[in-house]
Structure 1
Amino acid sequence: MYEWVAGDSPSRFFRSSTTWEMLRPRQEEVDWCDVVWFKGAIPKHSFTMWMANYDMLPTRSRLATWGMIVATDFPFCSRDVETRDHLFLNCEYSHDIWSEVFIRCHPPMSSFTDWSELLSWIRAAATPELKLLRKLATRVVIFHLWKQRNNLIHNHISLYVASIFHCIDKELRNIISARKGRKQFRSLMSMWLI
Structure 2
Amino acid sequence: MPELHIKNMVCDRCISVVRQGFNELGIHPEEVGLGVVKLKEALDAKTKLVVSEMLISLGFELLDSDKSRLIERLKNSIIAKIHHTDYVDVKVNWSVLLSEELKQDYNSLSSLFSSVEGITLEQYIIRQKIECVKELLFYDELTLSEISYKVGYSSVQHLSNQFKKITGQTPTQFKSTRNLENSRKSLDSINNSRS
Give TM-score, length-normalised by structure 1: 0.30
Q: Which has the larger radius of gyration?
A: 1
Structure number with the higher strand fraction is 2
Give TM-score, length-normalised by structure 2: 0.30
